[in-house]
Chain A
Amino acid sequence: MSKKEEVSKGFLDALELRGIKRRDFLKYCGATAALLGLSELYGPKIAVALEKASKRTPVVWLNFASDSGCTESFIKATYPSPAEVILDILSVDYNETIMAAAGKQAEEILSNSAKAGGYVLIVEGGIPTKKGHGMIGNKEMLDVLKEMAAPSIAVIAIGSCATDGGVPAAKPNPSQIIGTGEALKRVGITKPLINMDLCPVNPQYLVGVVVNFLLLGKIPDLDSQGRPVMFYGQTIHDNCERRAHFDAGRFVTKFGGQEESLGYCLYKMGCKGPMTYSACPKIQYNDRTSWCIKAGGPCIGCAERGWTDKFAGFYEPLPGVKIPGLGGVEAGADKIGAVAAVATAVGIAVHAVATAGSGRTDEKKGGKK
């Protein structure tokens, strides 16, 4: 790192004044580097990038057909904490859940943002397309999206509802809810779009993408579904802490028993980890306190598009997965019954098993070569 790239003392002093200890700041930058899959040497570069971003990037955060679970999830972020994100890194100009202003004064903020443009638009919740099923301030949510997406510099769709409609778009999809990408297409708007599937979004994924944006001035590498490769490049099964038990053919067959306390694999309890692409085992939740499978809860596949229908019968084992250690027995395709998209499911499962045998083969798909 050249001399010029060092973080200025003045900047660190300014941070101290804001109550951020320099050690914490540099630790945060290091942690962020690790989160992005970068060498820790990138930590100082992140610090420099954040210093250069002297005007905090404005954010407009819109809630559509959501349950606010992603807002709730976001405010559980650590390193940086939500206070740091809101007060020091971004300028969250509009978010109905936390903003002090209400009514007319809130509407003014939104229309001023639209006029000024240049913000990142965060979308939480899907967009109802049945007339009248989702309105804000007497406007159709689809029209609000159109109005607010046009002046934005990029759109981040957080959580399953925003990417594909999520649970409320499950059959029979009573409000004909669609995801952000589809909605933007319908209103003829082309913007850089990042999809962050998961129900709810992992707050560290969101923070990671934001910092990536500030650091590199561009959105991270995305897969064919518009998801950041760094978070969606491998299956849960690839990195699962119970994986050794799967490989050895040791399974939980009853909740809350000895098999569970020994940490055996949850596949037979319906775990969707082999078909679900997400970095859950690595990043975990709530300041790495735990994650679903660690706590004995079989994965329900909530990082996958259409998971509510695709994986319906959450506690039934995935069909077509070869179980190691038992002579390659085919598990329970007969049990799962009429599941939507079984063919796709089998395809992905086979892929998961293929990659499982040869280690983390998906790593080369990662964007950080």
Chain B
Amino acid sequence: MARITIDPMTRIEGHLRIDVEIEGGKVKDAWTTGTLFRGFELILQGRDPRDAWHITQRICGVCPTSHGHASSMSMDDAFKARPPENGRIIRNIIEGAQFVHSHILWFYHLNALDYVDVVSALKAQPKEASLKRVQAKLKSFVESGQLGPFANAYWGHSAYKLPPDVNLLAVAHYLEALEMQAKAAQVSALFGGRMPMTMTSPPGGVTHVPSVDDLKNYLFRVKELQNWIDNIFVTDLLAIAPYYLGAAGVGKGYANFLSWGVFEDSSFDPKKRLLPRGAIFASDFPKVHDARPEDVTEDTTHGWYKDGKPLNPAVGETAPEYTGYDSSKKYTWSKAPRLQGKPMEVGALARMVVAYASGQPTAKKLIDDTLAKIGHPGHPEVLFGIIGRIAGRVLECKMVADSMYQWGIDVIENIKKGNTAVYTEYTIPDKAQGIGLWEAPRGALGHWIDVSGKKIKNYQCVVPTTWNVCPRDSNNVRGPIEEALVGTAVENAEKPLEILRVVHSFDPCLACTVHVIHPESNRIMDFKVA
């Protein structure tokens, strides 16, 4: 049995280490760990609660807007300051642009290099002038001998299946996508001031009344993104997918899915969000269960904490106790969040599956059409795994971009009716508690705030990657990424490309997960204020 350690795990956000044991060419067991303590919840204590939505954006530079919105929503709840219609929609717009940006960046710049062999693209024989130019550029780049970010990768690995022409096309779109992700971020900036770290969504709504110029600018920018997503992004998915359908079952994991839901509906009912709230368990798929924050517990059996029974975040305790690395006992600083005692996968696939099973018409049509195109009509379960996680993000990106156009029109219609309010005034009560349950591009995100004496007494975040990257629980049930890795065939332990694929499919974001690390280790701990 061979043990492989991948450290640093690259093309993710933050610092992640992966350990796997390989037997007979397959992963027999896996452990996930990370390496940094920043302690945001401690920093928030005693501050003006309104500062929290700015400070928590700094938890993650990739999905700052989601943290900001979850934070402001926890205060909308605590201060009884529900945003007016256009405030609600503009927050959706700023969030939507971040989703589009994040999914494009993930597909092309974080994940694609596991499937696209850049060196093979040199062997392509393109006919189109634009592709010839890209190839010439790539050639002169390679000949410079300075390979920069493309150096020392697994090029030529037999798991790369694309023919040279498709590789070249993907390289061309890798470069184009760098510009498109920036354009998507510009849409966030249009209403948020800048991206990353938007400035205009405090508790109560948004600060800015959109001008005619803003709205015109917005609609035409969204059109440009929609065109690119339809003609390039979705097309690339369908062009690449046939070569990797053999990998469809790889990295399946538990197929338990959680979504808190995202993109607020005018009813403020989380089950009516564009991507609705709900939970799905593999045992009775496709039944959609209620996802309730009170059903969340965190288990510390395999984390470096004093043992205790699993607790809900609202009453969670943190008693760190480093006892050394022992993968049969304690081996990580991450706690293990569970919903109704079950490990849950979160992210775009989880949201799309919950939406599909809830009968959300747009998600249902997108998924059904895609299943038909790949020859599995009516079998959404073939999407459970690495290929489905890719497809889930691309299809969600299209769904969000298409909705964004309509949101712009909705803002205009409201203004026409004289309904221009974007912000609800409030006074901070002496004591208040609130919860903001939302989604970041990489999955379910919750912020809990407890205000006392008009200051933050306690602040708590349970973030997407903690769900995905967590360790085993007291029943020795692995975390979702660990479980997804088990059974993965690895051809060459020196070049574990297949492992990268499984891990990247979850789009891990360690800055979100890793709030605390123990002094004598480099293991993660999802810090909780006691």
Binding site for B on A (CB under 8 A): 14, 17-19, 55-56, 58, 63, 65-73, 75-78, 81-83, 86-87, 90-93, 95-109, 128, 130-138, 166-168, 170-175, 177, 199-200, 254-258, 260-261, 269, 285-287, 289-298, 300, 302, 308, 312-316
Q: Does B190 contact A (CB under 8 A)?
A: yes
Residues of chain B at interface, number, CB under 8 A: 96
Q: Could you tell me if A96 and B10 are in contact, using CB atoms closer than 8 angstroms? A: yes
User: Which of B181, B208, B496 interacts with A75 by CB under 8 Å?
Assistant: B181
Q: Could you tell me if B186 and A286 are in contact, using CB atoms closer than 8 angstroms? A: yes
**B110-132 contacts to A (CB < 8 Å):** 110, 113, 118
Chain A residues near B199 (CB-CB < 8 A)? 292, 295, 297-298, 300
Q: Closest Cβ of chain A: how far from B16's Cβ, in Å?
A: 10
Q: Does B185 contact A (CB under 8 A)?
A: yes
- Of B139-147, B162-170, B268-276, B361-369, which binds chain A? B139-147
**Nearest chain-A residue to B48 (Cβ)?**
A313
Q: Closest Cβ of chain B: how far from A12's Cβ, in Å?
A: 14
Known contacts A17-B136, A91-B146; A101/B54 CB under 8 A:
no
Known contacts A90-B148, A286-B188, then 8 further A-B pairs from the complex at CB < 8 Å, ordered by chain A residue? A19-B133, A75-B109, A75-B182, A92-B148, A93-B151, A256-B422, A269-B207, A295-B200
Q: Could you tell me if B109 and A14 are in contact, using CB atoms closer than 8 angstroms? A: no
Interface secondary structure of A, over-half rule? loop
Known contacts A73-B61, A100-B113; A297/B193 CB under 8 A:
yes
Chain A-chain B contacts (Cβ-Cβ < 8 Å), number: 307
Bound: A352/B425 CA distance, A:
31
User: Which of B59, B60, B148, B205 interacts with A87 by CB under 8 Å?
Assistant: B148
- Of B31-39, B439-447, B475-483, which binds chain A? B31-39
Q: Could you tell me if A133 and B195 are in contact, using CB atoms closer than 8 angstroms? A: no
Q: Closest Cβ of chain A: how far from B232's Cβ, in Å?
A: 15
Q: Could you tell me if A72 and B61 are in contact, using CB atoms closer than 8 angstroms? A: yes
Q: Could you tell me if A130 and B519 are in contact, using CB atoms closer than 8 angstroms? A: yes
Q: Does B383 contact A (CB under 8 A)?
A: no
- Of B1-9, B373-381, B400-408, which binds chain A? B1-9
Q: Could you tell me if A255 and B43 are in contact, using CB atoms closer than 8 angstroms? A: no
Bound: A91/B145 CA distance, A:
10
User: Which of A133, A295, A315 interacts with B202 by CB under 8 Å?
Assistant: A315
Chain B residues near A105 (CB-CB < 8 A)? 152-154, 495
Q: Could you tell me if A81 and B179 are in contact, using CB atoms closer than 8 angstroms? A: yes
Bound: A90/B144 CA distance, A:
12
Q: Does B26 contact A (CB under 8 A)?
A: no
Chain A residues near B6 (CB-CB < 8 A)? 102-104
A-B contact pairs, 17 of them (CB 8 A): A56-B148, A58-B146, A68-B14, A69-B62, A72-B61, A75-B105, A93-B149, A97-B10, A100-B149, A100-B150, A106-B152, A109-B151, A132-B517, A258-B209, A260-B209, A296-B209, A297-B192
Q: Could you tell me if A103 and B149 are in contact, using CB atoms closer than 8 angstroms? A: no
User: Which of A98, A132, A138 interacts with B519 by CB under 8 Å?
Assistant: A132
Bound: A339/B170 CA distance, A:
53
Chain A residues near B192 (CB-CB < 8 A)? 290, 295, 297
Known contacts A19-B133, A101-B10, A261-B211; A290/B193 CB under 8 A:
yes
**Nearest chain-B residue to A168 (Cβ)?**
B38
Chain A residues near B179 (CB-CB < 8 A)? 81, 83
Binding site for A on B (CB under 8 A): 5-15, 35-40, 42-43, 47-48, 50-51, 54-55, 58-62, 64, 87, 105, 109-110, 113, 118, 133-134, 136-137, 140-141, 144, 146, 148-154, 175, 178-179, 181-182, 185-186, 188-200, 202, 204-209, 211, 421-423, 425, 494-496, 500, 511, 516-522
Q: Could you tell me if B39 and A95 are in contact, using CB atoms closer than 8 angstroms? A: no
Bound: A314/B118 CA distance, A:
47
Q: Closest Cβ of chain B: how far from A134's Cβ, in Å?
A: 5
Q: Could you tell me if B43 and A81 are in contact, using CB atoms closer than 8 angstroms? A: no
Known contacts A132-B517, A289-B190, A308-B55; A103/B5 CB under 8 A:
yes
Bound: A97/B521 CA distance, A:
23
Bound: A197/B494 CA distance, A:
41
Q: Could you tell me if B520 and A76 are in contact, using CB atoms closer than 8 angstroms? A: no
Chain B residues near A104 (CB-CB < 8 A)? 6, 494
Chain B residues near A18 (CB-CB < 8 A)? 136-137, 140-141
Known contacts A99-B149, A131-B520, A295-B192; A19/B58 CB under 8 A:
no
Bound: A144/B516 CA distance, A:
20
Q: Which of A133, A166, A254 has the most CB of B within 10 A?
A: A133
Q: Could you tell me if A256 and B15 are in contact, using CB atoms closer than 8 angstroms? A: no
Q: Could you tell me if A254 and B423 are in contact, using CB atoms closer than 8 angstroms? A: yes
Q: Could you tell me if B140 and A102 are in contact, using CB atoms closer than 8 angstroms? A: no
Q: Closest Cβ of chain B: how far from A278's Cβ, in Å?
A: 12
Q: Could you tell me if A56 and B146 are in contact, using CB atoms closer than 8 angstroms? A: yes
Q: Could you tell me if A68 and B185 are in contact, using CB atoms closer than 8 angstroms? A: no
**Nearest chain-B residue to A337 (Cβ)?**
B48
Q: Could you tell me if B182 and A287 are in contact, using CB atoms closer than 8 angstroms? A: yes
